[in-house]
Amino acid sequence: MPLAFATLNRGVVPFGFFNIRTDMVLLAEYFAFAGDVCSWIEALAAMSDDVHATRPAWIIADPANRGGIREAMAGNDLSGFIGAVYAQFPFPTSREDFRQDPDGYRTRPEIEPLVERFAQQQPIEITSRAVAGTIEIGGYLFDEPGFAELVRYLWRGGFPRWKNDRRPAYVDDMMEAVRSSPSWLFLGEHWPE
């Protein structure tokens, strides 16, 4: 489930998986598939200088169109995009089954038409600045330790972690790129072994 992460400019924002059967993640009003986010991070890791790039994401600015995670998990309100996902992939009845599915990427053909009912894909700007020691994602500014928290969340499989401790290959590829990166953004002591 999404967790709260501190930004430097907009307070605390949610980031993470919102349903264990899909690999889509959210950052406040932005939605993207985790495999795509990991490839963005790989691209950042390959750069030694500052980066300014745009990547596609779905933006759902209206909270009613986003839906509510807790209400959807409980099955009480299946409105908005998140509710539509939970209507298709309900919260598990057994607590033992509450683990992030490493095969969640396989639901993308089912999730994309759902998100497109509530939003259109738009570019999200990603900018890293070595002098400032920051990375900005869609207007949300993080310092290097704060950004590392987002990357570690993907590595762990968020909360509740990856099912059977098995990560998708795209997460392993991301972390391999992070560990060998020449970029200032990945030189800190914040990365998992």
Mean pLDDT of 100-128: 96
Per-residue model confidence as pLDDT tens digits over 31-57? 999 999 999 999 999 988 888 999 999
pLDDT above 90 for 193: no
Mean pLDDT of 115-139: 94
Mean pLDDT of 67-77: 94
Give the sign of the dihedral formed by CA 82, CA 175, CA 155, CA 4: negative
* Mean of all residue pLDDT scores within the chain: 94
Q: Which pLDDT score, from 0 to 100, does residue 192 have?
A: 60
User: Are the CB atoms for 73 and 145 separated by under 8 Å?
Assistant: no
Taking the CA atoms of residue 111, residue 117, residue 118 and residue 123 in that order, the dihedral angle to the nearest 10 degrees is 70
pLDDT above 70 for 190: no
Question: DSSP states of 66-102 as a string?
Answer: H--HHHHHHTS---HHHHHHHHHSPPPSSGGG-SB-T
Q: Could you give the percent of the chain with pLDDT greater than 90? A: 88
